[in-house]
Structure 1
Amino acid sequence: MAGVRKKLKLIVSVTMVNLFIFILISRNSSQVKNSQNKIHIPSKPFWAKLSTSPAFWNRQQQILDFQNNPVIWANSSGTDLPDWLNETSLTSDLCRPNFRVTTQVKDYNTLPNRFKDFLLYMRCRSYPIMMDQPDICKEPPFLLLAIKSLSPHFDRRQAIRQSWGRAGVIANRTVVTVFLLGNATSEDHHPDLSEMLLYESAKHKDIVQWDFRDSFFNLTVKEVLFLEWIQARCSGARFIFKGDDDVFVNTYRIMEFLNSVSEPKARDLFVGDVITNAGPHRDKKVKYFIPQSMYVGSYPPYAGGGGYLYSGDIAARLQNVSSHVALYPIDDVYTGMCLRKLGLAPEKHKGFRTFNIDEKYRSNPCAYKSLMLVHPRTPQEMIKIWSWLSRPDLTCQ
């Protein structure tokens, strides 16, 4: 009899638990159904009030963010915009000097001339092309080598052609090389080398030149123009190496690396000597000095401009997003800003040595075999190192 009571008690308990679970599920299901039909009204504004940044670049970026935000833009009228956002209505030629900056940047008159020049023409992103190679990528290359150079650097370009930048077929892969130039003007005390440059272009067919002042702060302009050029002339390139004309690049090692990259990783590939947790230099004696009146905040992770490697897919996305990022006077930082806008970050690779290698290893051929890039190297050193790596009998432990 006691056993029957125990069984009965157990059955009642299980039934009650199941009934309780059923009621909970039914109630939650009813709430979900009701919530689908119920309109939820926010209790406070979703968008924070726009307030201007005291730094000029940050303010220009705020304006671009506003222009490219369809939600805010569609629900705003000119009358309810803050005064500092009224620059969005400017319709003048963006490549004419913007003299408004002389009053918008509080210490404009005390800044070095390179800053004044950059600020005056910061809005301009379009310059005429002086030399082009429209058929250079007629056969889409596996690797496009794009080297930033200056008109007078004939010896560097020739050394690259004779060594690591030799166009053609390397490791059964097609390589195309182009040199990216601006206009070396008399304003910067450059001699007129235009006829020599025309001869060089006719002979080698690898010069791409635009009509903008080729200065350190305008390397960002060169970056933006190059991204446009890729889409117009070489959109089929699988990978792109972009670097300076004073670096040595182990093209053999780059090919080995690219052949080992999996297809999913190849799409988002962007590798180099990555710098993190950096910010603007405030010391006026430093080449990379940026005043507080121009920029506040830290820098996103970025790959040192001596050279980095990325996919053709990334190149297309960078070109699209670059119009949403205000020009910044340091080109590698600007590229990092564009990557962040895409939700990406460059990947650090120990094969990129933009700050050189230990002096005791610099004369050892094997020190370069596993590296992708070393900076800096003279034209003579480039040719010598390339001859080392090209020796079939070179064996390294």
Structure 2
Amino acid sequence: MVLLLATGTFISVWVTDHSLLSNQWSQEWWEKVSTNPAYLASPTVPSNTAGGHTEPHTKPHTKPHPEFQWETLGPYHVAYPRNYVFVLDEPDACSTEKPFLVLIVPVAVKNRVARNTIRRTWGNESLVLGKAVRLFFLLGLPSGKGSEQLQADVEKERKEHHDLLQSNFLDSYRNLTIKTMMMLEWVASRCRNASFAMKIDSDIFLNVHNLVKMLLDPKTPKQNYITGHLARNAVVLRNKNSKWYLPADVYPDPRYPPYVFGMGYVFSTDLPKKLVDVSKRMKPLFLEDVHLGICLKQLGIQPKEPPSPSLFKVYMPGPYNRCHYASIITAIVSNPAKLLRYWEDLHKSNTTC
């Protein structure tokens, strides 16, 4: 049963059945939600993209934590998702398969090409060094023209692959922190029996073998552990033309605490609940990786350096080099076609480094 209430400035949605939603329910629900000013009526925020379009910023529509009083939220804060729910879910996936490692890819609803490419490449690795690995994609809600058909397509995709998680927040760049916190809530409630989880962007090349090898190393901590491409003493950008600009009245310190780049980081599964709990007393920033770093600071937990700084790359220098990709864990690739080509080349049986 689903009950939708819209009163004042917030909407609450209760879903008591996490099974595949019917097309009829989706259409009726979307017609109400997508046109409701309480859901979408926030001013748009410049995204500073080349196209010059703007990204919507969702007003908070959840009740605040009793210990925390919300102030007026501007474009640099987002609503904490403690009352969001999963409208598409795989609640028993981890209890049935008991994976060692869970990979979660936040991806735009419309980006089916990226999802299919990942399923054909590193997302297809389900047993690595004797350890079970499970892949999930995390989506928000579509918006704009064609949303109803897109949502129907997503539901069909979920039925086919059983690897889609979707929560009822608006899917946009400015809501990446909500997406991240929903990922943590899902791991905390669904996959505590996994040893590790990884958040990884959809434009990343992932060497799953090297990742699992690192996690199996006896020196790798099993608790309070998070690692990736680590940023230390990162300067807060005060240039208003920057996509990552934050004014001093939002974040007064000149530097951020240590944090891991949002492109891909791995963490022990005891950490999500701690991060979710501490975030309830904070006003989240729209910079999701910075927000996570601030949460870690509040917990007194330092992100760890990887065994080698060359494991978590941002960009690979120069043209494609097979041996370079054989030695790393992550690197950004510019498009799905390159990811597929690099992956196929790396797994040719007749070539070595």
Shorter chain as denominator, the TM-score bin is 0.7 to 0.9
Detail structure 1 runs of 4+ shifted over 6 Å in the superposition.
Answer: 108-111
> What is the Cα deviation at residue 352 of structure 1?
4.3
> What is the Cα deviation at residue 383 of structure 1?
1.7
Letter in 1 for 2:207: N
* Greater Cα shift, 190-199 or 148-157: 190-199
Equivalent position to 1:236, from 179, 190, 193? 193
1:248–1:377 Cα contact (<8 Å) kept: no
Equivalent position to 2:325, from 368, 374, 382? 368
Are 2:228 and 1:269 equivalent residues in the alignment?
Answer: no
Distance in 2 separating the partners of 1:143 and 1:94? 39
Equivalence for 1:57: none
Are 2:119 and 1:161 equivalent residues in the alignment?
Answer: yes
Equivalent position to 2:241, from 272, 285, 293? 285
Distance in 2 separating the partners of 1:243 and 1:160? 11
Q: 1:291–1:166: structure 2 CA closer, same or farther, 3 Å change rule?
A: same
Deviation digits for residues 226-252 of structure 1 (CA, Å, limit 9, x no counterpart): 211112211111111111101110001
Q: Find the residue that maps to 2:237 and give its secondary structure.
A: coil
Equivalence for 2:19: none
2:333–2:339 Cα contact (<8 Å) kept: no
Larger Rg: 1
* Greater Cα shift, 209-218 or 173-182: 209-218
Equivalent position to 2:152, from 174, 195, 205? 195
Deviation digits for residues 253-275 of structure 1 (CA, Å, limit 9, x no counterpart): 11111121336x23232111111
RMSD of Structure 2 on Structure 1 (CA): 2.7
Q: 1:389–1:111: structure 2 CA closer, same or farther, 3 Å change rule?
A: closer
Q: 1:153–1:262: structure 2 CA closer, same or farther, 3 Å change rule?
A: same
Deviation digits for residues 194-247 of structure 1 (CA, Å, limit 9, x no counterpart): 111111111000000011111112111111112111122111111111111011
Q: Find the residue that maps to 2:273 and give its secondary structure.
A: helix
> What is the Cα deviation at residue 363 of structure 1?
1.8
After the TM superposition, which residues 29-44 of structure 1 pair with which residues of structure 2 at under 5 Å, given as runs?
none
Q: Find the residue that maps to 1:266 and give its secondary structure.
A: coil
Distance in 2 separating the partners of 1:131 and 1:117? 20
> What is the Cα deviation at residue 320 of structure 1?
2.9
Letter in 2 for 1:158: N
Distance in 1 separating the partners of 2:246 and 2:340? 36
Q: Find the residue that maps to 2:134 and give its secondary structure.
A: strand
> What is the Cα deviation at residue 291 of structure 1?
2.2
Distance in 1 separating the partners of 2:207 and 2:131? 15
2:196–2:269 Cα contact (<8 Å) kept: yes
- Identity among equivalent positions (%) equals 30
Are 2:136 and 1:178 equivalent residues in the alignment?
Answer: yes
1:94–1:124 Cα contact (<8 Å) kept: no
Distance in 1 separating the partners of 2:227 and 2:170? 29
Distance in 2 separating the partners of 1:123 and 1:174? 32
Structure 2 gaps of 5+ residues are 1-6, 13-41, 47-53, 60-72
Equivalence for 2:258: 301
After the TM superposition, which residues 78-93 of structure 1 pair with which residues of structure 2 at under 5 Å, given as runs?
none
Aligned length: 291
> What is the Cα deviation at residue 126 of structure 1?
1.8
Q: Find the residue that maps to 1:160 and give its secondary structure.
A: helix
After the TM superposition, which residues 16-95 of structure 1 pair with which residues of structure 2 at under 5 Å, given as runs?
95=10
Equivalent position to 1:378, from 317, 331, 335? 335
Q: 1:191–1:244: structure 2 CA closer, same or farther, 3 Å change rule?
A: farther
TM-score, normalised via structure 2 length: 0.75
Distance in 2 separating the partners of 1:110 and 1:233? 34
> What is the Cα deviation at residue 124 of structure 1?
5.1
TM-score, normalised via structure 1 length: 0.67
Distance in 2 separating the partners of 1:145 and 1:174? 11
Which protein has the bigger helix share? 1
